[in-house]
A and B are shown apart, each in its own frame.
Chain A
C-alpha cells in the first residue's frame, strides 16, 4: 500500500463549480498536511498547510484533515479557469526525518469557462 493515495483524475468541471479533491494516507504518524498546486511545466507551489486535524480556510480554498480516517481534502469554491492545474497532496511526520514530504500522484483539474 502506498503511503499516500490520490485519484489522478482528470477532473473537469464548469466555471463556478465546487471542486473536491481528496487523498488518503496510511501512516498515523503524519502530522503535517499540505496541498500544492502545480501549473503545467512549473514547480509546485504551496497552497494550504494544516497541522493535525481540522479545517483551514483561505479565500475560496478550504483544507480538511480527518486523522481518524486518515483522509485529507481540498475544496475549491467558485472555481475559476485559472484554477486549472495539478493539485498534489503531501504529508510529513513530526519526528527526526520530518523534512521528507510524501506526495500523492496529483489530480489534474480543468475548469472550463
Chain B
C-alpha cells in the first residue's frame, strides 16, 4: 500500500505569509506526528495526534504554528506570518497505533522563507 505522502514537496514563500502543509498518513494508522528538520540539526518533535484524543502540542515552537487532523486521516500544519528561521524540512510520520509502534515517515516538505 501507499506510504505517508506530503504536499507540497517544496514551498518557497515570502516572510510574513502564511503556509499550509499537508500530510496523508498510511491508511488505518491512528497516530500521526509532525517533526521539523532544520539544516544541520536533528529532527525536532512538533505535535502528536492519537485517534480522537487531544493532541500533544508541546513541541510547537510558537503560537504561529498550529496543526489539525480530521479524524484518523489527513493532517495540516499551518505556519502563520512565516519567518526566515521557519525554513526547514517538515516531516510527517504515522504509526498503526501509539508507541512503541514503528513510525513511518513521509518525504517531507521543504520550506524556504525568503
Chain A residues within 8 Å of B, Cβ to Cβ: 4, 6, 8, 32, 36, 41-46, 49, 51, 88, 90, 92, 97-106
Contacts and interface: CB of A to CB of B under 8 A. Distances in A.
Given A8-B40, A44-B43, A106-B42, 6 more contacts: A98-B99, A99-B99, A100-B59, A103-B43, A105-B40, A105-B41
B45 A43 contact: no
B71 to A, nearest CB: 19
Contacts of A102: 42, 45
B3 to A, nearest CB: 8
B45 A101 contact: yes
Interface stretch (B13-21, B72-80, B101-109): B101-109
A8 B39 CA distance: 12
B107 A42 contact: yes
B56 interface: yes
9 contacts: A36-B105, A41-B107, A42-B108, A88-B43, A99-B33, A99-B56, A101-B103, A102-B42, A105-B42
A99 B31 contact: yes
A100 B48 contact: yes
B26 to A, nearest CB: 12
Interface string B32-51: 01010000111111001010
B91 interface: yes
A8 B91 CA distance: 20
**Shortest 3 CB-CB contacts between residues of A and residues of B:** A43-B105, A103-B42, A103-B43
A32 B99 CA distance: 10
Contacts of B1: none
A43 B100 contact: no
Contacts of B44: 103
B35 to A, nearest CB: 8
Nearest to A93: B99
